[in-house]
Amino acid sequence: MQSYIQSAEEILKKNDLGSYTVPTHGLYPFQWNWDSCLTALGQFHFNEARAWREIETLMAHQWDDGMVPHIIFHKEDDGYFPGPDVWATGRKVPTSGITQPAVAGFAVNRLYERAKDKALAGEMVRALLPKIHKWHQWFFRCRDPQGTGLVAIIHPWESGRDNSVDWDVPFSRVPTDGVLPFQRRDTQHANPDHRPTQAQYERYIWLVQLFRSLKWDNMALRDNSPFRIVDPGFNAILLRSCSDVAKLAAEVGLDDIAAESRSFAQKGTLAMDALWDDDFGQYICFDRAANELIKSPSISGILAAFADIPAGRSKALAERVMRLSSRCTYAVASHDPAGEGFDASRYWRGPVWLIVNYMIADGLRRAGQTDVAEKIKHDSLELIEKGGFRNTMIL
Ligand code: DGY
């Protein structure tokens, strides 16, 4: 155990650029939104103040409308595509123009609960909660026009699960005409067989070009994107953050934030049930543009365990993890190995992702599904020992 902790600390220190941390040198040379929040949870173990700084830096780049971008391009680095010139969002410190899973509320609550320096934690919470809440309000305003309680993503990169099988059908409706010629950089840093395909990249960029042509007006993006998906894992992270913000805001006397956050969490958690699929025994995505459920058994529907879903659903998800585990050596594959489109080595189409395991185990533990939570933790540690700190799949 000690050696894992030491190597985790060494990696975080190596990737630390002072006020933000890169997910990895080379492939991801800037600050990424959810990576940063989860990184802060690790930094907390050896430097509490530095952990708070990570989230402060991220939130300092929030847009005026409340959106928190998925990449902050703090400095130039031509080793990444698409860089700031492609996004062209017009920000002083350039950022991308889309968002990412809203895990900041959860992270801030966890840092606060575990803080030894309570004075610093209190100060940080009072400064950060209004910003995080503004981001949550942005989600429900800009990504839930009908007021269903659940929000849609408008680009696969927002989910963090770039090339999930979930997007195969919706992507067949995203065109590629007019995509300007580009040169990918990711395949220079990573094995192309593990990364998204060229056809997927063309669609990623087509969407970016469309959003840029709409001048990054979030209402226009919401109404014009042909890709609008209600992703259960993405929503679960947002709803868990809303409920953590509600608890924390009540504790520090921010009563209006507490009340609205509680109502976001309650409404969304009830709405989530419409995404339940009895055949797979897990949640699935809903394609808002096509008005249909996406019958694809990905990890997103299991990550829903991170929110305060009903006890019966948590139990069913725990059983689902065990059923999936009987087909792989390690829990939890990012796509069902029996499902169409599964690929043991390609990014989000099969490999296990440790941060997702962490969130699923956390949710299951809270719901009393301790044995399965322990199994996920045990498998994750074994995977780290065999494959290192990265996404990995050993069937
Ligand atoms: C990438 O470029 O691979 C990212 O996942 C986009 O955020």
Could you read off the pLDDT of 189-230 as tens digits, one per residue? 999 999 999 999 999 999 999 999 999 999 999 999 999 999
Residues 6+ apart with CB under 8 A from 261: 105, 133, 136, 242, 243, 245, 246, 249
Residues 6+ apart with CB under 8 A from 294: 166, 169, 170, 229, 284, 285, 286, 287
- Between the CA of 188 and the centroid of ligand 1 the distance, in Å, is 14
The single-letter DSSP state of residue 78 is T
- Between the CA of 20 and the centroid of ligand 1 the distance, in Å, is 17
Beta pairing partners, 285: 294
Which atom, in ligand 1's list, is nearest to the CA of 204?
6
Which atom, in ligand 1's list, is nearest to the CA of 96?
7
- Prior bond to 82 cis, omega within 30? yes
What is the reported pLDDT for 392? 65
- Between the CA of 27 and the centroid of ligand 1 the distance, in Å, is 9
Flag whether pLDDT at 47 surpasses 90: yes
Tell me the domain boundaries of the chain: 2-393
Flag whether pLDDT at 163 surpasses 80: yes
| Tens digit of each residue's pLDDT (9 = 90 or more) over 291-314 | 999 999 999 999 999 999 999 999
* Among candidate residues 335, 355, 357, 330, the one with its CA nearest the CA of residue 346: 335
Give the global pTM. 0.98
Calculate mean pLDDT across residues 335-362.
96
Please name the helix (run of DSSP H) or strand (run of DSSP E) that holds residue 198, with its range, or none. helix 198-213
* Among candidate residues 92, 110, 94, 98, the one with its CA nearest the CA of residue 54: 110
Distance CA 297, CA 275 (A): 12
Flag whether pLDDT at 95 surpasses 70: yes
Calculate mean pLDDT across residues 124-147.
98
Question: What are 334's two structure tokens?
Answer: 């990012």
Which atom, in ligand 1's list, is nearest to the CA of 32?
7
Distance CA 140, CA 137 (A): 5
- pLDDT confidence tier of residue 272, bands split at 50, 70 and 90: very high
Residues with CB under 6 A from ligand 1: 70, 157, 162, 186
* Among candidate residues 363, 365, 361, the one with its CA nearest the CA of residue 381: 361
Distance CA 179, CA 128 (A): 38
What is the reported pLDDT for 350? 96
- pLDDT confidence tier of residue 89, bands split at 50, 70 and 90: very high
Greatest pairwise CA separation for the chain in angstroms: 55
Calculate mean pLDDT across residues 376-392.
88
- Between the CA of 390 and the centroid of ligand 1 the distance, in Å, is 15
Give the domain 2-393 fold. Answer: Glycosyltransferase (1.50.10)
Flag whether pLDDT at 389 surpasses 90: no
Out of 27, 28, 208, mutate this one to test ligand 1's pocket (max ligand atoms within 8 Å of CB): namely 28
Calculate mean pLDDT across residues 25-38.
97
CA-atom Rg of the chain in angstroms: 20
What is the reported pLDDT for 391? 63
Find tokens 């990905």 and name the residue: 298
| Cβ atoms 89, 95 nearer than 8 A | yes
For the purposes of burial, counting CB atoms within 10 Å of the CB of 32, is it exposed (0-12), middle (13-18) or buried (19 or more)?
A: buried
For the purposes of burial, counting CB atoms within 10 Å of the CB of 261, is it exposed (0-12), middle (13-18) or buried (19 or more)?
A: buried
What is the reported pLDDT for 2? 64
Cα 136 from chain centroid (whole Å): 14
Please name the helix (run of DSSP H) or strand (run of DSSP E) that holds residue 283, with its range, or none. strand 282-283
The fraction of the chain above a pLDDT of 70, given in percent, is 98
- Between the CA of 194 and the centroid of ligand 1 the distance, in Å, is 13
What is the reported pLDDT for 1? 64
Distance CA 372, CA 4 (A): 22
Flag whether pLDDT at 390 surpasses 70: yes
Calculate mean pLDDT across residues 113-120.
98
Residue minimizing CA distance to atom 4 of ligand 1: 157
Beta pairing class for 229-230 and 292-294: unpaired
Find tokens 């993405």 and name the residue: 234
- Between the CA of 198 and the centroid of ligand 1 the distance, in Å, is 14
